Amino acid sequence: MRVRLKDIANATGFSTNTVSLALRKSPLVAEDTRDAILKAAADLKYRPNEIAKSLVSRETHSIGLVLTNIINPILTQTARLVENALTARGYTTVFATSSNSIELEKKVIEAFCARQVDGILIYPTDHHQIAHVSALADYNIPVVVLAARPPENINAVSLDERLGAYRATRHLIELGHRRIGLVEGISNADNLEKTQGYELALSESGIQSQPGDIVKLEGFSTPFGYEGMNILMQQPDPPTAVFCVTDPLAIGVMEWCREHDLNVPGDISIIGFDNIEFAAYASTPLTTVAYDAHRLAYDAVDRLISIIKSGGTPPAPVHEIIEPEVLVRKSTGKPRT
Amino acid sequence: MRVRLKDIANATGFSTNTVSLALRKSPLVAEDTRDAILKAAADLKYRPNEIAKSLVSRETHSIGLVLTNIINPILTQTARLVENALTARGYTTVFATSSNSIELEKKVIEAFCARQVDGILIYPTDHHQIAHVSALADYNIPVVVLAARPPENINAVSLDERLGAYRATRHLIELGHRRIGLVEGISNADNLEKTQGYELALSESGIQSQPGDIVKLEGFSTPFGYEGMNILMQQPDPPTAVFCVTDPLAIGVMEWCREHDLNVPGDISIIGFDNIEFAAYASTPLTTVAYDAHRLAYDAVDRLISIIKSGGTPPAPVHEIIEPEVLVRKSTGKPRT
DNA sequence: TTGAAAGCGCTAACAC
DNA sequence: GTGTTAGCGCTTTCAA
């Protein structure tokens, strides 16, 4: 059925070894025999079996990419950029989502190891429960984490989410807002970077945040944003501005405003996070926290590959942190006086 | 370094074969020995090498997913749904994009075959140049195409794009429009389904389409839509409605209208295709062509897996076609009289 | 310049 | 119940 080296060997009368060498263009084999072998290979439509190669070379030229879920467009974009970067370097991308479950995340990592991926790129479900990720580094499996401030022993290329949140909140404060809501996602994990940035900006300005001003939803997509805004606005004296930890959340918030005839930014200011493509085209163009996602993906891939290539002696772990900036569009403005 | 069956064998005093059987919970091996082996495996932190397994079982439990590019959110969604469906069935997803290049597409397929994927799911760059895809079927490599009306010998689960375009155009005609623009993407490929549907609807209603009413761009993303609208509106007597072959294109068109103070749908009606998540949240909620993407992905995966499972005698090829519907929101209306 | 033999980590066929 | 042998398709010694 499938043609193997042996079939070419039989067809040409050479040994499998010679065939193997010829196909890899070894200078050891005579030109005539090489040509004959190449021709036979082409005739038989030979395709090398990478699995067999991998077994002996102990490398699969594949890397595992683990993301929490791919609903958030920014993770989609990351997936795309990573795949591009990897392809450009001759690696294939094996893809999996953890669906924000630590258990699943562990399983996925297991599966990748079993499949002998050459390395793993991961955006962990919970930025603080990553013992299982550190373990990879201990086992000498190259890994780069896409989250900020991980343990010292692992490599990371990531966005400074805390700083982004801080800047978003400061932007609102500088516009004059004093009551600023926070719309957060998933509460089972413990990624407090954004919340911390938000709180830091507030306390720095001597603003006391109201208990009802922080809403935590079960996810990061648009409908959750809508729901979050609904909760936020139940208060007798609601905020005049809202910081949403993702753009889809912000778009949901904006949708709520549209349905309830609240003008953005006249009645309420909204700022998102990630600068997804659609942010610019929302009903009110969305002010958001932007950063160089391309660089993030490419640097992470470069880092991973340099670890892989380094062989037995991996370079000292590096934490590269990318700084986000506030990108002002139309959804934020001064509060009504 | 890595622990193998042999290491467990040495540790326990049994043969590798017994260890192998024990780990696979064969009833042949005695309970005591099995427990001892399981314990040793756990102690040594044994992880099976799937690559080695694959070499003997001749299956990798991985399938290759080839998409044109992942910028279009609908392909993203497909990727996500496919990955979910595949994971649920115990397969891993190996991912690649063809970037709308036939050459790259061929290479990617080659690479997948070399990696011994158990099957391939592909949304081909050009729905008519798919000899290389048919070839897979000939080689007994299970493949399911995500495009409509492929050659008889290959399996397909897909959307009826022609029908979708037809219905979109009819929707505009029924509202009273007679000058309907078409904003199309990529011209190097030859996916005319949507154009055909558009033309069919027009000719059926006795409408003669103007030469300037069809614009073909180099891509399917939002900026191209903006550019397309710019071209379309140069005409002295521009269309009163526009059908865009993807939602991002439609959003770009809408953006052009926003910048040029054209009211949607008052001055111009816009309809998209795919019903991406953000369609509902655009500056004017977008009327679009919607379909069951979940079913598309799951049926395609089911089909592929049933072919894989069928072993040597694949079932007769099936072409499953999913019908799209027009989802009316706010971006289409009667033309000004 | 080419071939024979061993082995990557695992499973399968057949003994005992 | 358990061990031995062979083999998946390839590369890598080591000889010739």
pLDDT value at residue A267: 97
Asked whether residue A8 carries a pLDDT value surpassing 90, the answer given is yes
- All residues of chain B having their beta carbon less than 8 Å from the beta carbon of residue A70 are 76, 79-80, 83
Mean pLDDT of chain B: 93
Asked whether residue A23 carries a pLDDT value surpassing 80, the answer given is yes
- B85 touches B301 (CB < 8 A): yes
Asked whether residue B288 carries a pLDDT value surpassing 80, the answer given is yes
Q: How far apart are CA B169 and CA B271, in angstroms?
A: 9
Cα angle A22, B53, B25 (rounded to 5 degrees) comes to: 165
Q: How far apart are CA A125 and CA A122, in angstroms?
A: 9
- All residues of chain A having their beta carbon less than 8 Å from the beta carbon of residue B47 are 110, 113-114
Q: What is the pLDDT of residues A133-159, one digit of tens each?
A: 988 877 789 999 998 788 888 999 999
Q: What is the average per-residue pLDDT within B53-65? A: 96
pLDDT value at residue B227: 98
pLDDT value at residue A209: 85
Choose among B51, B76, B255: nearest Cβ to A55.
Answer: B51
- B81 touches B51 (CB < 8 A): no
Q: What is the average per-residue pLDDT within A231-259? A: 97
Cβ–Cβ of B116/A83 closer than 8 Å? no
How many Å does it take to go from CA A118 to C1' C9? Answer: 17
Q: What is the pLDDT of residues A143-202, one digit of tens each?
A: 999 987 888 889 999 999 999 999 999 999 999 999 999 999 986 666 789 999 999 999
Chain B 57-86 residues in 7 Å CB range of strand D: 58
Q: How far apart are CA A158 and CA A145, in angstroms?
A: 8
- How many CB pairs lie under 8 A apart between chains A and B? 127
pLDDT value at residue A248: 96
Write out residues 271-310 of A within 8 Å (CB-CB) of B. 277-278, 280-283
How many Å does it take to go from CA A19 to C1' D16? Answer: 18
- Angle subtended by helix axes B73-88 and A73-88, to nearest 10: 80
3-state per-residue secondary structure call for A209-249: CCHHHEEECCCCCHHHHHHHHHHHCCCCCCCCEEEECCHHH
pLDDT value at residue A192: 86
Residue A3 CB-density burial (10 A; 0-12 exposed, 13-18 middle, 19+ buried): middle
pLDDT value at residue B1: 66
pLDDT value at residue A67: 92
Chosen for mutation from A115, A138, A294 (greatest number of chain B CBs closer than 10 Å) is: A115
Q: How far apart are CA A252 and CA A282, in angstroms?
A: 10
pTM of the complete model:
0.93
The amino acid that residue B111 corresponds to is A
Asked whether residue A130 carries a pLDDT value surpassing 70, the answer given is yes
Residues 6+ apart with CB under 8 A from A17: none
Q: Is B114 on the interface with A (CB under 8 A)?
A: yes
- All residues of chain A having their beta carbon less than 8 Å from the beta carbon of residue B113 are 47
pLDDT value at residue A257: 98
How many Å does it take to go from CA B301 to C1' C14? Answer: 39
Question: Nearest to residue B76, comparing CAs of A73, A249, A247, A221?
Answer: A73
Helix, strand, coil proportions of chain A in percent (round to 5)?
A: 45, 15, 40
Cβ–Cβ of A50/B116 closer than 8 Å? yes
Which position has the higher pLDDT, B97 or A272? A272
Residue B260 Cα, gap to closest chain A Cα (Å): 14
- B246 touches B214 (CB < 8 A): no
Q: What is the average per-residue pLDDT within A290-303? A: 96
* Percentage of chain A exceeding pLDDT 90: 80
Which position has the higher pLDDT, B121 or B98? B121
Asked whether residue A125 carries a pLDDT value surpassing 90, the answer given is no
Q: What is the pLDDT of residues B185-212, one digit of tens each?
A: 986 666 789 999 999 999 999 999 888 9
